[in-house]
Structures are given as structure tokens and as C-alpha cells.
Structure 1
Amino acid sequence: MRRLAPALALGGAALVAVAGCGAQGTSSLGNVKLAAAEAVQQSVQKAEAVTSYSGDVVLEATGGDKGASKIQGSLLYQSKPQLATDIRLDTITYGGQNVPGGARAILSGDTVYVKSELLNKFAGANKPWIKVSLADVDAKGQAGIKGFMDQVQQFDLASTVKLLTVSKDVKAVGTETVGGVDTTHYSGTFPVAEAAQAIDPAKSEQLQQDLSRVKNVKFDFWSDAQNLPRKVTLSGSEQGNTFNLTAFFKGFNEPVEIAAPPADQVGDLPKNHVGN
């Protein structure tokens, strides 16, 4: 399922200065006109300062010998008073086959709660939810949990926008309304190789693996008057392999409710699965 998320494997990307990269166009939204590249940079800075948000994501991929794949879901995020996320993947289709029940993951502090019929069957769990500490996920090689968490952690507001900063051809193409909010629409491309060099080395290899069959990614990006990202689309095509991602973001710095599942619905990962 890791191949399903080429456009979402953006965690840990570093902010890249793009002044003087030849980007074209300006934003006329609000009182200050910004060069397109500068507007994208400012959007990254704004996104990094956001302490909570919600979003909706759809990712579709085709090509290869696995057939069509799709992930559709939503997320809640907060960084204060402690880091917490609630990811719901309502639709997971891989190779033309639906994953029954979808999946959900709640990260609260240093504990991960995962609900997945497929994962529970694989792990032999007897409760709807599996509880695992982040330390165990990282240190004990929990392949199933780790793989799912990699998917979960790829849903990220600031990191998604950060990759756009390596673009050398970003330009403003107009103004549109997204979710009832006035936005400026930007468009451009970025080369995968440069994007991989721009991010945390620990994430670079995974990004290159996820995008191994795509050289360049086309993007469209909509930001509001405060330079907050409201919508991002990413797409790529190479030798018959294609992917298309659409992400909507909203509820910036508004209260979100992220709670652990009821205790009687939660079980630990079976001991016979530890270390597998």
C-alpha cells in the first residue's frame, strides 16, 4: 500500500528559498501583491504556524501490474496542548480490490490507536482497536503498524506546501472561490530529484521510492488572503503510471476534538506479533 501515496510522502521537508528562481506571476489577493514564489514561501510559513486544522484528501493511482488504486479520507490535526491526529481512510482500494472497513488511526501523545479489519486479522487482535506506543513502532520493527503509520503521517499541511517551493516555474493563474473562501490560484511543476534533495535525508529515500516512476510533478495550489493553503492538487504521469492527489484544508486554528477510543474497545498488539 506504500505505492498508493507518492504525493503524500512529504513529511519532514525543509523550507527552500526560491527567490530569484525565475518564477512568474503575482498574487493580487489582499492589499499586497506578491511574486508567486514568494507567495508560496509565505504560505509555508503560515502553515507551519497553524496549531490545528482539518482536511479532506483523495489520492488515485493507475498503471503497473497492480491496477487502479484509491485512498479517500479526512483528518484532524492539533499540535497543542499535545500533538494529536485523527485520520479516517474511508476508502482504500488497492489493485482494484477494496480493503474492507477502510482504516482509522488516532495519534495521541506517544500512543497510536489503529482500527483496521485487515490489520486486526493479520495481527490476530480480539478488539476493534490496537494500541501501540510510538517507541514500539519504531524500535521493534512492527511491519504492519509501521506501514500504516507511514501512510497516516504523510497527511501533512505544511510539508505538502513545502515541496512546491522547489518549483522554478510557479505562477499565479487567477482567482477562485474554494469552500466559500476567495483564493489566488497558482500552478507549476517541481522535479522529483530536487524535491528529494530538499527534504530531511531520513525521508528522502522514501520519497524517491514513492515517486520512482515520475520525474516531474505538476501542481495547482490555492491560498487565501492570509496566504493559508486551502487546496492543493498534485499529479504525475510517466510510462503509463499516473497519480492524482487533491487535498482540501480548513478550520485553521479552530478547536478540534481528538480523543482516544473507549478503553473496552482497545487491545494491545498480540505478543506473538511483536517484532514481526
Structure 2
Amino acid sequence: MRRLAPVVALGAAALVAVAGCGAQSTGSLGNVKLAAADAVQQSAQKAEEVTSYSADVVLDASGGEKESGKIQGSMLYQSKPQLATDIRLDTITFGGQNVPGGARAILTGDTVYVKSELINRFAGTTKPWTKVSLSELDAKGQSEIRKFMDQAQQFDLAGTVKLLTASKDVKAVGIETVGGVDTTHYSGTFPVAEAAQLIDPAKREKLQEQLSQAKNVKFDLWADAQNLPRKVTLSGAEKEATFNLTALFKGFNEPVEITAPPADQVGDMPEHRGGN
């Protein structure tokens, strides 16, 4: 499991870098025809306006019989009136072994609530949920939760689509239906170093670190008539390990309900456990 972790992180970070643009191939949706580069540029602009959405994600990683794994789950996201996310990982498998009960994390404001049988066993907590302030994660030595939340906060639609503009070889493939919605399918690759320069400097180093060994990072993007991404697939490699990730986005700007768990089910995270 420990050796597979970088591959899983690679796939999670890859969700940020979902696609790219740059070539002059054209795609059409209805009567609208746009150069692939222009279409993805418009997607980046539209994504800036999105304040809430939901996503379904599947990540398959391989690195030998004992180092293969799968993560499958979903998330809710909102940026207003305050940043909040609800991430459910229903399936977590490493080396043929399942993580019992999966995992769930809710971020509201600056507080993280985590529900995980493994974390409960490791930390010695008795409540179903444990909580910790984001500002206290490092102080309390909760490195694994810090890594998890760092990756979770990369599920930012606007930041993701901004990375797409770094691609040099995007092309339109055709018109396809995703979740009952007509979309234009784009395909290409993106250079990690150049894409990293387009995002928040606070996230840049982490992205470069997680994707520094990635080879042949390929993407497919399905964008709807409003140029919003409806589906993304990514594939890449780190040395002898590979990952394949699929993300389905929906519910743009629709109301989402993200609430903290009941107080009587929440315990505090013990200090100085799971250190660096």
C-alpha cells in the first residue's frame, strides 16, 4: 500500500489537470463551430462562474499484483457562502485488499470531519467521526489527513480547466452524448511544467511533485454547449506504475447540501498521532 500511494496521489492530482487545448482542430455542437483551443479557453472562463457542482470519480492504478488499486467515489462542492466539500470514497482497494467501510471527509469552513474505520483504529477514537481544524493539522501531526485534504481541495473546477489551456496538441474528436447531454469530445496531452505555471502558486509545487515522473499524460474531455466539462478521462504513468482516471461532472450551480455530522457522533482528533 505504501508504495502504491504515490500512484494514487498522481491520479488525484491528475484530476486537476483534466485536459488541454492549443491546436486548431475544430469541433461543432449544433450550429456552433469553434477551434479546439478557443473552445477550451471558453471552458476556463465559464468554469470561473461555477459556484457548486457534483462529481463521480473512478481511479484505477496498477503497479504489479501487490501494488494495484482502485478508488471510486463522489463529491459535492460549493464555494459560496463558504467553501465546503463532501467527499465519499465508497471503494478503496490496494493489492487486492479492501479498506473496510471506505472513507468520507466533510470540509466546512476551516474544519475537517473524517469518517474512516482505519483512522479510528489508528487514532484510538470511539466516535464514528473525528474532527480537526485545517490550521491544526500540521500542529497535531496529522500528516495523512493533511495529504488527503490537500488532494481533496484540488477538485477545483476553475483551477482544473485553467490547466487545459497549456496543451499543445488538442483536437476535436466528434459529438457524443454524456449523461443525456450533447457534448463535443476533445483529446490530447498536456505538459505538466507549463500547466503548473497557470495555477495558484500555493498548489503549483504539489502538482509538479505529484506529476513530476508522469509520462505520456493523455486526456479526453467532453464539453457541453455551454463549454462546461461533463466528462474527463486521464491516463498516465509513474515509472512502472500507471493510472486511469474518469470523472463525471454535473449539477453546475445547483444547490448542494453539505452539513457537519451530528455533534454526538463527533470526537476530537488526538494530538501527536500519525506524525510526519
Moved more, 187-196 or 162-171: 187-196
Change (3 A) 1:12 1:161: closer
TM norm structure 1? 0.89
User: By how many angstroms is 1:203 displaced?
Assistant: 2.7
Structure 2 residue 12 is matched with structure 1 residue 8: yes
Structure 2 residue 51 is matched with structure 1 residue 51: yes
TM norm structure 2? 0.89
Change (3 A) 1:117 1:132: same
Quick check: 1:2–1:147 contact (8 Å CA) kept in 2? no
Change (3 A) 1:206 1:94: farther
User: By how many angstroms is 1:119 displaced?
Assistant: 1.1
1:71-111 CA-to-partner distances (Å, cap 9, x unmatched) read 11000111111111100000111233221111000011111
Superposed, which structure 2 residues align to 1:1-276 within 5 Å?
A: 1-9=5-13, 21=22, 23-63=23-63, 66-237=66-237, 239-271=239-271, 273=273
Q: Percent identity?
A: 76
User: How far apart in 1 are the matches of 2:57 and 2:186?
Assistant: 19
1:199-237 CA-to-partner distances (Å, cap 9, x unmatched) read 334333322332233233110000100111100111114
User: By how many angstroms is 1:34 displaced?
Assistant: 1.5
User: How far apart in 1 are the matches of 2:6 and 2:132?
Assistant: 20
User: How far apart in 2 are the matches of 1:87 and 1:102?
Assistant: 11
Question: Quick one: which amino acid aligns to residue 151 of structure 2?
Answer: Q
Change (3 A) 1:216 1:196: farther
Question: Quick one: which amino acid aligns to residue 7 of structure 1?
Answer: G
Question: Quick one: which amino acid aligns to residue 29 of structure 2?
Answer: L
Quick check: 1:12–1:199 contact (8 Å CA) kept in 2? no
Q: Is the partner of 1:184 in helix, strand or coil?
A: strand
User: By how many angstroms is 1:251 displaced?
Assistant: 0.7
Moved more, 67-76 or 92-101: 92-101
Question: Quick one: which amino acid aligns to residue 261 of structure 1?
Answer: P
In the alignment, structure 1 segments of 5+ residues that lack a partner are: none
Question: Quick one: which amino acid aligns to residue 111 of structure 1?
Answer: T
Question: Quick one: which amino acid aligns to residue 78 of structure 1?
Answer: Q
Change (3 A) 1:44 1:269: same
Moved more, 238-247 or 136-145: 136-145
Quick check: 1:223–1:229 contact (8 Å CA) kept in 2? yes
Residue correspondences, number: 270
Quick check: 2:16–2:163 contact (8 Å CA) kept in 1? no
Change (3 A) 1:219 1:11: closer
Question: Superposition RMSD on alpha carbons, in Å?
Answer: 2.4
